[in-house]
Amino acid sequence: MPVLPCPPFRHLPTRCRPDGRINGLTARRLLGTVATAGLLLVFSQVYAGATDIERGGYLVHAGGCISCHTADDEGGGPLAGGDALVTAFGTFYAPNITPDAETGIGTWSDEDFLRAMHEGSRPDGAHYYPVFPYTAYAGLTIDDVMAIKAYLFSLPPIRQRNRAHELPWYLSSRLAAGAWKLLFFTAERFMPDASRAAPWNRGAYLVHHLGHCGECHTPRNVLGVTDSARELAGNPAGPDGKKVPDITANRDTGIGRWSADEIEFFLELGMLPDGDFTGGAMSSVIDDNTSHLSAADRHAIATYLRSLPAAPAGDNSGS
Ligand code: HEC
Ligand code: HEC
């Protein structure tokens, strides 16, 4: 149940704001408004009939929370804290996000959870490191964030203490994370593009926000900021220092030669058009995330990816 005053898609009203002509709406704006209303309807129909908890369970998969927040060994319970995430900035351990009151997030309010997901801040105001992809989740609708919380709070609490991150001294204070946020992060909710069809918008939402594909597929500068000029163009230094390929429509370095069916099949089963299976970090993205999506959502991702301009030549991190 949302408790913050701003509604989902809070940027939308500015689009429909009367501008003084023809009842405040020019024909173009009117079309835009109708299309946007249609999109919102489509977004809500994606989940028609599901309870918040069911919807939240789906979103937890689509958001890839499990890959990071669950340890691989059998002892570590689901979402009770993850394995080492080795980055260029140090080693991080995703914390326990089960509703255990002492070691998890069991005492958190809706506002606490929203602030973590949308603003990257802890309930006590301290800042999270952007290895927790709140930079992507900031785009989620409030409804979706609240459904995720409802699902997490429906799980059995697991008592498991968080592990401390292993960071160089200059990053070990959360003030460093705060400075990073100040410089490089603006919390912006996803705004559908009314000139595009619903599957494209759904795909953009899944790729940029929930599925945070750019966290691995977009290169970063030395300060860990993703390079917006090379979005999804391939990353020479992905998780564990491994290369991550270009997934734009570039026909040579990217997936420009893949059909929509091939992309959807890949996201479902991890099989490449040449019959090989994907490996590395992408296999857990497929296991924990995209294989659980509805066919319509995989189609939306394919639609969106195929619409992306081909990445310019550069390090597109092919092998
Ligand atoms: C790429 C790995 C990764 C993914 C994916 C990820 N997280 Fe996290 N998450 C982290 C890390 C690492 C932290 C700790 C950040 C810090 O200490 O600054 C964290 C912190 C959190 C916290 C704060 C918990 C606390 O005790 O302060 C919450 C809540 C959370 N994540 C929820 C989620 C949800 C929900 C999802 C899926 C929608 C998700 N995370 C996906 C890595 C991840
Ligand atoms: C945790 C990091 C990570 C995330 C998140 C991630 N990927 Fe990947 N992806 C990879 C890696 C690594 C590879 C290469 C795997 C290999 O070498 O077999 C890959 C490969 C791919 C390929 C195959 C490209 C090719 O030419 O072989 C596609 C398509 C793809 N990813 C799409 C996506 C989409 C869509 C998302 C978001 C829903 C996503 N990925 C999220 C790491 C990631």
pLDDT band at 76; cut points 50, 70, 90: confident
Q: Does residue 190 fall inside a structural domain?
A: no
- Compare 74 and 231 and report the one with higher pLDDT: 231
- Residue 124 located in a structural domain: yes
Is residue 226 domain-shared with residue 275, that is, in the same domain? yes
Give the mean model confidence (pLDDT) for residues 222-234: 91
Q: Is residue 279 part of a domain?
A: yes
95 lines ligand 1 (CB under 6 A): yes
How much distance in Å is there from the Cα of 124 to the middle of ligand 1? 16
Dump pLDDT digits (tens) for 240-289: 889 999 999 999 999 999 999 999 999 999 999 999 999 989 999 999 99
Ligand 1 pocket member 43 (CB < 6 A): no
Which residue lies with its CA nearest to atom 41 of ligand 2? 213
Q: Is residue 1 in some structural domain? A: no
Identify the residue whose C-alpha is closest to ligand 2 atom 5: 213
Highest mean pLDDT among 26-30, 84-88, 294-298: 294-298
Instruction: Kindly state the percentage of the chain with pLDDT values over 90.
Output: 73
Q: Is the pLDDT of residue 167 over 90?
A: yes
Would you say 135 and 190 are in contact if contact means Cβ atoms under 8 Å apart?
no
* Higher per-residue pLDDT: 299 or 9: 299
Measured by CA distance, the residue closest to atom 10 of ligand 2 is: 282
* Model pLDDT, residue 40: 52
32 within some domain: no
Write the residue with the smallest CA distance to atom 31 of ligand 2: 282
Give the number of the atom of ligand 1 that is nearest the alpha carbon of residue 104: 26
Q: Which of 17-26, 44-53, 139-148, 200-209 has the lowest mean pLDDT?
A: 17-26
In a domain? residue 14: no
**Side chain identity at 64, as an amino acid letter?**
G
147 and 213 share a domain? no
Check pLDDT > 50 for residue 11: no
Whole-number mean pLDDT of the chain?
86
Same domain? 134 vs 251: no
Residue 291 placed within a domain:
yes
Secondary structure (DSSP) of 61-98: HHTTHHHHHB-SSTTSPTTSB--EEEETTEEEE----S
Q: Is residue 130 domain-shared with residue 215, that is, in the same domain?
A: no
Alpha carbons 173 and 143: distance in angstroms, whole number: 32
Q: What is the Å distance from ligand 2's center to 231 Cα?
A: 13
List the residue whose alpha carbon is closest to atom 36 of ligand 1. Answer: 65
Question: pLDDT (tens digit, 9 = 90+) per residue, 22-57?
Answer: 233 333 444 444 455 555 554 555 666 789 999 999
Co-location of 147 and 204 in the same domain? no
Residue nearest to atom 38 of ligand 2 (CA): 211
Taking residues 201-226, report their average pLDDT. Answer: 95
pLDDT recorded at residue 74 = 74
Pair 164, 268 in one domain? no
How confident is the model at residue 14, as a pLDDT? Answer: 26
Q: List the domain range (segments joined by +) for residue 58.
A: 49-184
Whole-angstrom distance, CA of residue 153 vs CA of residue 104: 10
- Pocket lining: 292 vs ligand 1, CB cutoff 6 Å: no
Say how many Å lie between the CA of residue 116 and the centre of ligand 1: 8
Q: What is the pLDDT of residue 45?
A: 54
Same-domain pairing of 176 and 208: no
- Say if residue 232 is in the same domain as residue 255: yes
Scored b (16 or more CB within 10 A) or e, 127-152 reads bbbbbbbbbbbbbbbbbbbbbbbbbb
Are 106 and 219 in the same domain?
no
Task: Assess whether 140 and 229 both reside in one domain.
Answer: no
Q: Quick check: 183 pLDDT over 70?
A: yes
pLDDT in tens, 300-316: 999 999 999 999 888 88
294 pLDDT tier (thresholds 50, 70, 90): very high
Give the residue, out of 72, 132, 288, with the most ligand 1 atoms within 8 A of its beta carbon, to mutate for a pocket test. 132
| 99/174 same-domain check | yes
The number of folded domains in the chain is 2
235 alpha carbon – ligand 1 mean position (Å): 22
Domain boundary among 161, 184, 207: 184
- Which amino acid is residue 63, in one-letter code? G
Greatest mean pLDDT range, 2-6, 84-88, 301-305? 301-305
Instruction: From 184, 218, 239, give the residue that closes a domain.
Output: 184
Domain co-membership, 163 together with 63: yes
Q: What are phi and psi of 10, to 5 degrees?
A: -65, -10
Kindly state whether residue 206 falls inside one of the protein's structural domains: yes
**Amino acid identity, position 196:** R
Residue 114 scores a pLDDT above 60:
yes
